[in-house]
Structure formats: structure tokens, C-alpha cells
Structure 1
Amino acid sequence: MTEHTSFKNGRNVLELLWPVVLGLTVGALSACMQSESIRYWYPHLNKPPLIPPNIVFPVVWTILYIMMGLSMGLILQRKDDRKRFLRILFLFQLFLNFFWCYLFFVRQNPLNGLVCIVALVWIVILYTIKAWPVRKISSILFWPYLVWLCFATYLNLYIYLYN
């Protein structure tokens, strides 16, 4: 293996992994930020009948952050002019994801959280549509995230309406 090939393989691994690490970091920061509200505020809310047990949330979010990161990492490995726009969408959806956590848990404001999560759903839909022609698997890796966000929107809406 030549030095050039070794560098290229290292760059490919970095391109694949940095979005995963970034997503997991956002998730970890969100978890830290919301921990107090989850202990003292969230348990007293009226919640919908379909709410899963609390242990489900960190497991699902960890899997989703990994899938989201792999989606973006696979896009970055393509030689395609559209990857810049997809990178912006990816970073923006991560920001909205984090901001939702801040609004809903830290500010304890389900209405603002609902507005944020609806915007997040639309950005994720746009990402999945725009990723499809660049790398189909990258779009598909975002589908579970989109489904979970729709479910989270239902949870957020219920909590807003009944609290």
C-alpha cells in the first residue's frame, strides 16, 4: 500500500466517522442538559398512552445518532456537488435537534418545542429527499429518524395539549 492510498483510506474513515462522533456528542450534551428536567419536571406531566418506558429513549437516540452520522459520512465520501448542501442540512437538523431539547426540557416549553420539532421534521424530510439521488443508503438511514421524529412530535403535541 502506498503512502497516498494509506492517507486516502484514513481520510475516508475520518469522513465516515466525524458525523457519527458529532451526532453522538450532540446526543450526550442533550442528555446532560435535560437530566434535571427529566428528574423533576417531566415525571409530573400528563403523557400520552403510547409513551414508551424511559429506558427506550437513550437506546433509540443512540442508534439514531449513529445512523444519521453514517448517512452523512457516506454522502461525504461521494464526489458530488450536492454534498455541501446536504452537509448544511445535516448540521442544521442537528442544531434543531439540540435546540428542541433546550426548548422542551430546559425551558420546559412544549409549545416552542413543538414549533421546533415540526421545523426539524421538515428539514429531515428535505435531507432524505435530497440524499436519495446522491446515495440511496444515506437517505434510507434517515428514515427511522424521520419515523421517530414523527412519533416524538405526537408526544410533544400531546404534552402541550394536556399540560
Structure 2
Amino acid sequence: MNKIISICVAVIICFSVGFTAAYFQADAIQTWYPFLNKPSLTPPNFIFPIVWSLLYLCMGISIGLIWNTQHTKRKTLRWLFSCQLLLNFTWSICFFYFQSPLLGFIDILLLDIFIIYYMIESYPVKKISSLLFIPYTLWLLL
């Protein structure tokens, strides 16, 4: 039962970060983002909440599973996860709230480093936790 609770708490934390970030980007999505010169492969706006919901779910399950291990890397993995989640949140502020693609780019480069490092470090601890980050990594890198 503790395993389910920790996974649920982790998922709720991830979704809370996403909802909070959405608050900071709401105005810019309506007034600034539509006028940016975007790549032709940019998905339509309705895709983003669907994808991010799935990504936050996978992220929460990933760290929830780590939370339940007794592995010596557990604290390091929680720290890495927290850093990537903070960078995930600050990307919305950098890119949308400050309307700065440059700050967003710097933030996402750091985010990429942290999620890849988390994947590498979590693989020997809990393989599924690492694999749950593959969709997130692909979404950010593509």
C-alpha cells in the first residue's frame, strides 16, 4: 500500500508543477506564442496538454518507484528528479512569462542534461523508472 501512495503523491506533485507552470504561460500562449516563427513540425496547441499529461504521469510513476527502493542511490535520484522538475517548471517562466526563447533554450539544455543523467543513474536501480523517461526525453529532444 505504501508503494501505491508514494507513486500517487509523486504523480500529484508532477501534475501540480504542470498546472502551476500553465498559469504562468497562459497569457503568452494567447498573445505572444501564436506570432512566433515556429518549425513546421510544431504540433497543434491541443496536443500539448495531452502529451504533457502522459509525460507527468510517467515522471511521477518513475520517481514513485525509486522512492520505494532502499538503494543507496535513492537520495541522489530524488535530487536529480527534483532538479529536472524545477527546470521543467522554470522553462515555462523563461520561455513564456519572460517571452525569451534564449532563456528557454538555456533552460531546456540544462533540463536535457538532468533527465538523461537521471535515466542513466536510475537504470541500474529500477530499470522501469529509467524507461518511463524515454517519452519525456524524446518529446524534449525532437
User: TM-score band (shorter)?
Assistant: over 0.9
Return structure 1 stretches of 4+ with deviation > 6 angstroms: none
Q: Give the match's secondary structure for 1:52.
A: coil
Which residue of the partner structure matches residue 9 of structure 2? 18
Asked if 1:49 is matched to 2:45, the reply is no
Q: 1:81 Cα deviation (Å)?
A: 1.3
Superposed CA RMSD? 0.7
Task: Within 5 Å, give how 1:145-156 maps onto structure 2.
Answer: 145-151=136-142
- Percent of residue pairs bearing the same amino acid type: 44
Which among 121, 125, 129 is matched to residue 134 of structure 1? 125
The residue aligned with 1:96 is 87
Alignment partners' CA distance in 2, 1:113 and 1:58: 19
Asked if structure 1 preserves the Cα contact closer than 8 Å seen for 2:3 and 2:65, the reply is no
Q: Distance in 2 between matches of 1:18 and 1:126?
A: 23
| Structure 2 residue aligned with 1:87 | 78
Return the alpha-carbon distance in structure 2 between the equivalents of residues 74 and 45 of structure 1. 39
Equivalent position to 1:77, from 52, 68, 73: 68
Q: In 1, distance between residues paired with 2:3 and 2:134?
A: 24
Partner Cα distance (1:23, 1:149) in 2: 16
For the residues of structure 1 that align with 2:100 and 2:44, how far apart are their CA atoms? 22
Structure 1 distance, partners of 2:3, 2:129, is 16
Gaps of 5+ in 2: none
Counterpart pick for 1:29 among 7, 17, 20 = 20
1:102 Cα shift?
Answer: 0.1
* Distance (whole Å) between structure 1 residues aligned to residue 40 and residue 111 of structure 2: 24
How far the C-alpha of 1:16 sits from its partner, in A, is 1.4
Instruction: Give the TM-score normalised by structure 1.
Output: 0.85
TM-score (norm 2): 0.97
Q: Which sections of structure 1, spanning at least 5 residues, go unmatched?
A: 1-8, 152-163
- The count of aligned residue pairs is 142
Deviation at 1:44, TM superposition (A): 0.7
Residue 53 of structure 2: which of 62, 66, 87 is its match? 62
